[in-house]
Amino acid sequence: MRKPILVANWKMNGSLHSNQALLVRMLAKLRPFRKTVEVAICPPFPYLFQVRDLLGYTGISLGAQNASRAPSGAHTGEVSATMLQEMGCRYVLVGHSERRALYHESDNDVAARFRQVRSANMTPILCVGETLEEREQGQTMAVIERQLRAVIDDIGMAGLTGCIIAYEPVWAIGTGRTATPEQVAETHWAIRQFLENCEAGAGESLRIVYGGSVKAGNAADLFRSPEVDGGLIGEASLQADEFSDIGAALANRVAETESACDTLG
């Protein structure tokens, strides 16, 4: 069974003081679900060290929000994957829609970053998703397949093993607008079919999480389908209670799925 994961994407928020207060409360509140749900926190680069220390031996993983497409050298302002690995990162977001839209990261850039993360022995969380216009034109899967294909062409299906895919419809990120549970389940299913067609077993084994305005109030609905292996949480990850309630919703879904499987024998 795929272990569900909740990833906090703090984006460009926080301070030494607020991070400490947030994490102390969050760690206490997440304790009951730690066995069922894996958790990763992705702070801005300058706070990696602080967050790593606060996470200590809690079992919660450290992640970063991006990595350079180059291994090292004259790339002012960039941070390499090996530096992130040295800081204790286990996960790195790659191809977040804000990076694609605001910083013009192309599919090829994203593939190069993915490769760097992989070669530094970390797990990429590859973000894919369509704009509202693309959804309305029926282009959702064509866009997602193009985004996935760029990475697969670069690194091969073997390079995808163990990575996480985050389905994040661009129109739902930071907007307060979410996809319906049906749209989420349907798109996750279609992504699995695509991966399965690329390589038998890939669709079944990879974790696919949903991101885009997930809150405590809608998490149970959005996570209802077992196609959804967790969430990538932006705004709501800046509030300890909100984030841990999302964790509780995910843990409940897992418990329900397990007991349904037991009943079926």
Give me the amino acid identity at 155: I
Q: Does 130 bind ligand PGA (CB under 6 A)?
A: no
- Give me the residue whose beta carbon is nearest to ligand PGA: 234
Pick the binder of ligand PGA from 147, 234, 240, 253 (CB under 6 A): 234
Pick the binder of ligand PGA from 212, 244, 247, 249 (CB under 6 A): 212
Q: Which of 49, 53, 83 is nearest to 66 (CA)?
A: 83
Q: How far apart are CA 30 and CA 24, in angstroms?
A: 10
Active site residue 96: yes
Nearer to ligand PGA, 202 or 208 (CB): 208
Q: Does 213 bind ligand PGA (CB under 6 A)?
A: yes
- Cα angle 225, 229, 233 (rounded to 5 degrees) comes to 105
Residue 9 pairs with which residues in a beta bridge? Answer: 42
Selected catalytic residue, list 96, 188, 227, 235:
96
Q: What is the DSSP string of 128-145?
A: E---HHHHHTT-HHHHHH
Query: Of 58-66, 185-193, 208-216, 219-227, which segment contacts ligand PGA by CB under 6 A?
Result: 208-216
Q: Does 195 bind ligand PGA (CB under 6 A)?
A: no
**Least gap, CB of 262 to ligand PGA (angstroms):** 33
Nearer to ligand PGA, 94 or 202 (CB): 94
Nearer to ligand PGA, 238 or 254 (CB): 238
Find out whether 140 and 132 touch, Cβ atoms under 8 Å. no
Q: Which of residues 156-175 bind ligand PGA (CB under 6 A)?
A: 168, 173-174
**DSSP label at 42?**
E
State the distance between the two ends of the chain, measured CA to CA, in whole angstroms.
15
Helix axes 107-119, 140-155, angle to 10 degrees: 50
Q: Does 242 bind ligand PGA (CB under 6 A)?
A: no
Nearer to ligand PGA, 82 or 187 (CB): 187
Q: Does 247 bind ligand PGA (CB under 6 A)?
A: no
Sign of CA dihedral 204, 107, 115, 77: negative
Place of tokens 């079992």: 59
Selected catalytic residue, list 134, 168, 235, 242:
168
Active site residue 256: no
User: Exposure pattern of 10-45 as b/e (b: 16+ CB <10 Å)?
Assistant: bbebbeeeebbebbeebbebbeebeebbbbbbbbee
Nearer to ligand PGA, 116 or 213 (CB): 213
Pick the binder of ligand PGA from 211, 228, 242, 254 (CB under 6 A): 211
- Active-site residue set: 96, 168
Residues that bind ligand PGA (CB under 6 A): 9, 168, 173-174, 211-214, 232-236
